[in-house]
Structure 1
Amino acid sequence: MPGVLPSQAIETMIENGEITLDRPLTEGQVQPASLDLRLGTVAYRVRASFLAGEGRTVSERLSDFEMHRITLTEEGAVLEKGCVYLVPLMESLALPHGITAVANAKSSTGRLDLLTRTITDGGTEFDRIPAGYRGPLYAEICPRSFSVLVRPGMRLNQIRFRDGQSVLSDDALRALHADSPLVDVDAVIDEGLGFSVDLKPAEGTLVGYRAKPHTGVIDLENIGHYDPQEYWEEVRSDNGQIILDPGAFYILVSREAVQIPPEYAAEMAPFLAMVGEFRVHYAGFFDPGFGHASAGGAGSRGVLEVRCHEAPFVLEHGQVVGRLVYEKMAELPEQLYGREIASNYQGQGLKLSKHFKSV
């Protein structure tokens, strides 16, 4: 059946040599509908972001852009805010014909404003890998709000595999919502399920967080460790509006509590650019079971990573800022996002990345 490949199919790809690993799998690396990708042992500081381009390899292009290289050790190395790095990954691919792949940053990566994209030999797009690709994978990393300490094996991005096309049409999405509600409010369906921003919380006036411009380094291995007040300013609203400042990075939350049924997966996609000069730094994939009762959920808010461009912009409660594109799974995953795999963000509301102490 066409669709997104589940965890058991990913494990079969590893057994068949279609995914090769420099080191054995680590616990939790295979997710319900994706595979976490691991940093290798060297990071190249480069002058600019680049794509290999048709007929060229990343290693060939690297000689044009490399400034210096950093050995990643167990003691860790700092990737500095505002710099661009290229890191070979521990996973490589030999995709069968008919199987494509798409990569994305993990949720915690996006919530740190850590731009992480996957590039390949011969690639002309970020994060998109064509059927039949054989070769290495690289992570391009640009810390935009905080400098970070990284080590080999850390998992900043993830990859999802598809057999054919299985994106739900708007009509199919409406039928699914009628059968099993996907959100707890009226569904806005237009090339996907609309995601809007919540600026009128049920209690209090806290609606989000804004990254402070001058902070310390974040060690990505430290979970529940950092004081949010040292890295974030609270954003409050008593009238359902906030003004986004150009260049600033915000953590906000969706008005909708979302559910992803076990037979489906979803991906966050941008909304129309005409709605305003800002962008949701959509961090990624929504696995089967996200927010769903079958996986211990009762609807989960989507965390929005928002950056404003060019001019201050007034964001208002209920404004649509992104959309969820739903896809069918090729088969039901053997594990679901949520309770059974101790997922970090099941049942979430407004929430910073797992590195910070709970507010």
Structure 2
Amino acid sequence: MNDVTDLGRARPRSVLLGPTGLMPRQDIRDLVRRNFLRGEEPIRESQYQPASLDLRLGRRAYRVRASFLPGQGATVEDKLEALRWEEIDLAREEGAIFERGCVYVVELLEWLDLPDSISAAANPKSSTGRLDVFTRLITDRSEVFDSVESGYQGRLYAEVSPRTFSIKVRKGTRLNQIRFRRRNSQQEELSDFRLPDAKLRDLHAQSPLVDGPLSVRNGLVLRIDLAGAGPGRPIGYRAQRHTDVIDLDRVGAYRPEDYWEPIPAREDRRLILDPNEFYILVSKERLHIPPALAAEMVPIDPSMGEFRVHYAGFFDPGFGFAPTGHPGSRAVMEVRSHEVPFNLEDGQMVCRLAYERMAAEPDALYGAIGTSNYQGQDLKLSKQFRDP
């Protein structure tokens, strides 16, 4: 596929109708059937998540001198002409290595031709964030990352910047995912879709969202667990700086001790984050995302500390579901301190979950599909690592 000359042709309108909100996987399938969303290669069933679609790296990648946004009136290709250093072929069987500290822009296999009533947003997949791979979606004529305006027609690109580990990727590797919102003419801001704290309290009273008391502050508050799960069990992991390459398509292939340092619990239940080090930590709370809702980890308030939590912060409907009806999965957090050391204490508020309604319940929930790698999780590294 080399152009978009056949985009925009007349189609049946049924996919445009229905309740507003985040579109479930059966509606995303309808987008594909009606060519609002398509791929250079057929979209596979394993790409469909309950409320999103996994995106695949395409054939061409470019090592660039710096991150960029095209801005109004310019395409990604326009910017690449000025900024690219090297073109990389990802279709080779052996793949290609993306070196830590470098920035790459990759054409994706998927294209969009969105109607005016549907917009989209993207985020890194959980495994991508847990490897400290910084990934953002770019579209032509865009002034922001990870956001696709309604009515967008054209190619999608991923900016990829490994921060801690060098990685091996190839055509078809999945680093990020995209989700779609059906809007009405009055819904322009993301805040229009988020549930207020009063509604979260009502939902928690009907069916618990967490396994303890509910704490809300412009979303559901999550607190860090530095007490640990028992003797000999780490409270988290800190990434080693000098390791071998990680092939992202190899599941369960690597020993944690070759890439991570386990962090033991301290008697004072605190942890000092070293500047620019990368940590995997876990929430005290166990979560449950009801079938009619999805949730997103929102940026931390600057007043709460100089560190970043969670690169890959989207939670599908059904995450944390347990047969007992009680919330069953902790939130694993990717944490990086900024310019100064920062002291974390057990139970400290570190991030918030913003909930939004689905346009309809998905026809399959997280945990009921074959790609649910983190259902029922406690402290857990990315899927490329063996369980310690």
Say yes or no: TM over 0.5: yes
Instruction: Find the residue that maps to 2:129 and give its secondary structure.
Output: helix
Q: Which residue of 2 aligns with 1:43?
A: 61
Q: Which residue of 2 aligns with 1:68?
A: 86
Give the AA of the match of 1:193.
L
Relative to structure 1, the CA distance from residue 77 to residue 296 in structure 2 (aligned partners, 3 Å threshold; closer, same or farther) is farther
Instruction: Find the residue that maps to 1:178 and give its secondary structure.
Output: helix
Do structure 1's residue 303 and structure 2's residue 332 form an aligned pair?
A: yes
Instruction: Find the residue that maps to 1:159 and give its secondary structure.
Output: strand
Runs of 4+ aligned structure 1 residues displaced above 4 Å come to 294-298
Instruction: Find the residue that maps to 2:58 and give its secondary structure.
Output: coil
Deviation at 1:27, TM superposition (A): 3.3
Q: Which residue of 1 aligns with 2:317?
A: 288
Contact 2:71 2:141 in 1 (8 A): yes
State the alpha-carbon separation in 2 of the partners of residues 263 and 129 from structure 1: 23
Compare 146-155 and 233-242 and name the one that shifted more. Answer: 233-242
Deviation at 1:297, TM superposition (A): 7.8
The two structures have a TM-score, normalised by structure 2, of: 0.90
Do structure 1's residue 335 and structure 2's residue 337 form an aligned pair?
A: no
State the alpha-carbon separation in 1 of the partners of residues 368 and 326 from structure 2: 8
Deviation at 1:26, TM superposition (A): 2.0
Q: Which residue of 1 aligns with 2:257?
A: 229
Deviations 1:309-356 (A, max 9, x none): 111110111111111111111011101000343511000000000101
Deviation at 1:233, TM superposition (A): 0.7
Contact 1:263 1:332 in 2 (8 A): yes
Deviations 1:150-207 (A, max 9, x none): 0101110000001124321111111111111100122211111111110012312511
Contact 1:116 1:157 in 2 (8 A): yes
Q: Which residue of 2 aligns with 1:201?
A: 228
Deviation at 1:284, TM superposition (A): 2.7
Instruction: Find the residue that maps to 1:41 and give its secondary structure.
Output: strand
Q: Which residue of 2 aligns with 1:171?
A: 198
The two structures have a TM-score, normalised by structure 1, of: 0.97
Give the AA of the match of 1:328.
R
State the alpha-carbon separation in 1 of the partners of residues 116 and 326 from structure 2: 37
Q: Which runs of 5+ in 2 are unaligned?
A: 1-18, 184-191
Pairing partner for 2:384 from 344, 355, 358: 355
Q: After TM superposition, list the pairs within 5 Å mapping 1:71-110 onto structure 2.
A: 71-72=89-90, 73-110=92-129
Give the AA of the match of 1:220.
L
Pairing partner for 1:210 from 212, 223, 238: 238
Contact 2:211 2:327 in 1 (8 A): no
Q: Which residue of 1 aligns with 2:280?
A: 251
How many aligned residue pairs are there?
Answer: 359
Q: After TM superposition, list the pairs within 5 Å mapping 1:138-153 onto structure 2.
A: 138-153=157-172
What's the Cα RMSD here? 1.4
State the alpha-carbon separation in 2 of the partners of residues 251 and 13 from structure 1: 36
Q: Which residue of 2 aligns with 1:23?
A: 41
Identity %: 55
State the alpha-carbon separation in 2 of the partners of residues 296 and 161 from structure 1: 29
Give the AA of the match of 1:236.
P
Relative to structure 1, the CA distance from residue 146 to residue 227 in structure 2 (aligned partners, 3 Å threshold; closer, same or farther) is same
Instruction: Find the residue that maps to 1:350 and give its secondary structure.
Output: coil
Q: Which residue of 1 aligns with 2:14?
A: none
Instruction: Find the residue that maps to 1:90 and give its secondary structure.
Output: strand
Deviations 1:40-82 (A, max 9, x none): 0111000000001011111001111101111112211000000
Q: Which residue of 2 aligns with 1:181?
A: 208
Q: After TM superposition, list the pairs within 5 Å mapping 1:101-140 onto structure 2.
A: 101-140=120-159
State the alpha-carbon separation in 2 of the partners of residues 260 and 84 from structure 1: 34
Give the AA of the match of 1:178.
A
State the alpha-carbon separation in 2 of the partners of residues 264 and 293 from structure 1: 16
